Structure 1
Amino acid sequence: MSVAMLTVSEDEADIRLDRYFRRHYPHLTQGALQKLCRTGQIRVDGKRVEASTRLTPGQSVRVPPIPVAAGPARDAPKTLDPRLAREIQGMVVYSDKQLIVLNKPSGLATQGGPGITHHVDMMLDGLREGDDPRPRLVHRIDRDTSGLLLLARTPGVAAKLAALFRGRDVKKTYWAVVVGRPDPLSGEIDQPLARLGAGPGSITVPAQRDDEDAQFARTEYEVLDSAGKKFSWLGLSPLTGRTHQLRVHCESIGTPILGDPKYGAEKAHADGFTDRLHLHARSLVLPHPAGGWLEVSAELPPHMRETFRALGFTAGSTPAPRRR
């Protein structure tokens, strides 16, 4: 074993030193890393550092001899059923060297959980290219919600995109068919929310502002079309990212989303329409990690197209992805 000198890549910009080592030497414990920093065995550009030091591209990291068991782990591709690979590849609406955007179908979970054996996360090896890292989920959408789901091709890009979502730099637009017609026809829903219970049985409910568990939640909405006062097509833009926010906010103004299995009770179900959630992540506009902006839109799922036809709503063509 000998001293190694590693160069921080562009993909690892602003990463903490301890996370950098966790990525390259996953078996090295936090305590061992801190000791190596404290004794000066790990250095960056020849200087002593702490585990919390943030790195910049081009810096040189001195790595002392580390036992083989703690050496870099190769993220080897897994063998994926060809049917699953075709399934995930068929969802891709945009792809480049930094990220992938999927149009997730309604009914497919983003990740696994109790009783969930078929989900997006299990299929991500079907999107990797050669020996590149396995793509990573950046955010999630509900199992019953269809539409755009963003993936990062590398851990560094994943960190950048996750920061954009936390900083509200991503503009998300959802389309929904709701029962009833909001009054006024556009506005902002400023309704705090709280979670009751835990696990699959938990629910989100409106909360008073002074409730101990209340979370600030805001959604912009606009009626794009309506069938009298019975049904409306809404454009929804969440300004915060609470669990089930759009579903509870629509219910809170008296217009639950059509087919919602969890919120809206009987009012959310209507004879003659498929009993599936009519909520679709239609578009994303975000700063691209490589510079500029990316705009992506997703086609409606079959059950929502059918409902649009029945109600006379015209969605028009879906614009192609655009980098600008």
Structure 2
Amino acid sequence: MEEQKGSGDFDANEDDLYEHHRFVAGPGQVPLRVDKFLMNFVENATRNKIQQAAKDGSVFVNDIPVKSNYKVKPNDVVRVLFAYPPYENLLTPENIPLDIVYEDDVLLVVNKPAGMVVHPGHGNYSGTLINALIYHFDNLPNNSSDRPGLVHRIDKDTSGLLVIAKTEEAMTHLSRQFFNKTSRREYVALVWGNIEEEEGTIEGNIGRHPKNRLQNTVFEGDDAEKGKPAITHYKVLERLGYVTLVSCRLETGRTHQIRVHMKYIGHTLFNDERYGGEKILKGTTFTKYKQFVENCFKILPRQALHARTLGFEHPITGESMHFESTIPDDIQQCVERWSNYAKNQLDQK
């Protein structure tokens, strides 16, 4: 949560304020203080900052300012409003090189490197893909979240392909394809453990983790309504002993979907720190093995996930478009190390 400007009680009219955060409590929400509720949703927010914001009249529930001890109930609309616009709305063009795979008058396909955030957000207000896009292209259409050109997104430390709309018509057409699940997206992931089946489908509603606000999780049974439906199809590409290289095809596009679904079936992504994959989850206790894995972590200092293929219908011509991106060196080198390790293990048997 950004630092609150000014101090003391805040009595600005709601019409003069800018919305920074908005959350709707789920139907199963148990009564919870609003400061604790916001702690679960706003990245990097401290309890003190939230309580100060409430004291200043910046925390609203159902359009009414509330104090920190207000108990959030099912279906409450919780908003944080400040007298200045969110930093992510103050977009600054930046001369950042783009790896453009394809471009025409209405769209482009870019290959995003790992480490680049797609759009500005809390803690990342510069150096993003959108900062680069608005430098290189004028008058990009806004999506439903007022983000120029953006049809879909991938995580900061995931590499790979994204389609960008250059016109309103392309934005509408492409967004509809993603909504209707007619776009085609395939990722390559290195995961912990030897997946038993050659291929399979993971279905599980995904929502924000109730205890760790930086994670999402799968909700089952009576709790399923706390998440949104998500479907991932996977296929084994290569078995490498204690890890497996898989292809994942998305039918839906939930935040962290592959990372959450693979963890859900017991195969966390290799070196996915947010979901526990930076620990040695499979293998032996030998010191040499531990050193080998730590060297792999150094070669690949991020989750092993790459958006390899992207397919969609061209919004103007109706042509079926298909793009493929080479697996980056960091993932490739890590896979080769594991491949050599697995072969050596077999040779010793």
Decide: shared fold, TM above 0.5. Answer: yes
2:182 paired residue number: 169
2:215 corresponds to 1:203: yes
Which of the numbers 115, 130, 142 marks the counterpart of 1:121? 130
Give CA deviations for 1:137-164 in whole Å, capped at 9, x if unaligned.
1111111111011101112211110011
Q: How far did 1:166 drift?
A: 0.2
Distance in 1 between residues matched to 2:184 and 2:281, nearest whole Å: 27
2:196 corresponds to 1:183: yes
**Residue range with higher mean Cα deviation, 204-213 or 154-163:** 204-213
1:289 paired residue number: 315
Q: TM-score, normalised by structure 2?
A: 0.60
Distance in 2 between residues matched to 1:107 and 1:194, nearest whole Å: 24
**Residue range with higher mean Cα deviation, 148-157 or 205-214:** 205-214
Preserved CA contact (<8 Å) 1:193 1:207: yes
2:238 corresponds to 1:238: no
Preserved CA contact (<8 Å) 1:98 1:157: yes
Give CA deviations for 1:171-192 in whole Å, capped at 9, x if unaligned.
1000001111112121111222
Preserved CA contact (<8 Å) 2:94 2:127: no
2:303 paired residue number: 277
The amino acid that maps onto 2:314 is H
Which of the numbers 142, 146, 160 marks the counterpart of 1:147? 160
Q: How far did 1:271 drift?
A: 2.2
Distance in 1 between residues matched to 2:159 and 2:281, nearest whole Å: 18
Q: TM-score, normalised by structure 1?
A: 0.65
Runs of 4+ in 1 over 6 A off after TM superposition: none
Gaps of 5+ in 2: 1-90, 142-147, 283-292, 341-349
2:117 corresponds to 1:109: yes
Q: How far did 1:267 drift?
A: 4.0
CA RMSD of aligned residues (A): 2.3
Distance in 1 between residues matched to 2:92 and 2:303, nearest whole Å: 33
Secondary structure of 2:295's partner?
Answer: coil
Distance in 1 between residues matched to 2:324 and 2:121, nearest whole Å: 28
Q: How many residues align?
A: 227
Distance 1:79 1:221, change over 3 A: closer
Q: How far did 1:286 drift?
A: 1.0
> What is the aligned-residue identity percentage?
31
The amino acid that maps onto 1:208 is E
1:36 paired residue number: none
